[in-house]
Amino acid sequence: MAQQENLKTSAQRAQAIERMIRVNHAGEFGAKRIYAGQLAVMGDRTPAARSIAHMAEQEERHLSAFDKMMTERGVRPTALHPVWNVAGFALGAVSAAIGPEAAMACTVAVETEIDRHYSEQLAEIGDSDPELSAMIADFQADELEHKATALEQGAERAPAYPLLSALVRMGCRTAIAVSKHI
C-alpha cells in the first residue's frame, strides 16, 4: 500500500512538472507575441522600442529552451497556442498604440505575475528537478530585469495605469490557469 502511495505521489509530481513546462512554454510564447505586437506598432527607433527588442530577444531564448525541454521530455504544448498567438500580439499592439508608457505598463503587469508564478513553481519543485529549477530561476531574473526597465521607462505614467495593470494581470493569471490543463 505504501509503495502504491509513493507511485501515486511520483506520478502526481511528474504531472505537475509537465504542467509547469507546458504553462511556462505558453507564457514565453505569449510574451514573445506581446513584444512582437508592440514593435509592430512602435517601430524600432525609440528608446522604448529598443528596450522592448532586447526583452523580446531574451524571451526568444526562454521559448527556445522550453521548446527543447518539451521535446526532450515529451510534454505536449497547450491546445490554446493559436489563441495566445493572437491575444499576445493584440495585447502588445493595443498597449503600444496607447503609447510607450502603456507598453511599459503592460510589461510591468505581465512580469509581476510571471515573477509570482515562477516563485510558486520554484517552491513547489524544491530540489526534485534541478534542471527545471535552474532554468526557471535564470528566466525569472530576466523577467525582473524587464520589469525594472519598464518602471524606469515610465510604466506608472501610463494613462489609467492602475486599471491597465489590473486588467493585464488578471489576463495573465487566467492564461496561466487554463494553459496548465488545456
The H-assigned helical ranges of the chain are 2-42, 47-73, 81-98, 100-125, 130-152, 161-179
Task: Give the pLDDT score at 93.
Answer: 93
Cell for 114?
Answer: 510571471
pTM of the model: 0.85
Q: How far apart are CA 78 and CA 168, in angstroms?
A: 20
Please count the CA atoms within 13 angstroms of the CA of 116 that sit on its side-chain side.
11
Q: Is 30 helix (H, G, I), strand (E, B) or coil?
A: helix
Task: Give the pLDDT score at 149.
Answer: 92
Domains and CATH numbers, the chain: 2-179 (1.20.1260)
Q: Which long-range contacts (CB under 8 A, 24 or more apart) does 64-68 make?
A: 65/135, 65/139, 66/21, 66/24, 66/25, 66/28, 66/135, 67/25
Task: Give the pLDDT score at 43.
Answer: 86
* One pLDDT digit (tens) per residue for the chain, 182 residues: 444 444 457 777 878 888 889 889 988 898 999 999 999 998 877 888 888 888 889 989 998 998 898 899 989 888 888 888 898 999 999 999 999 999 999 999 999 999 999 999 898 888 888 899 999 999 999 889 989 998 998 999 998 999 889 988 988 888 888 887 78
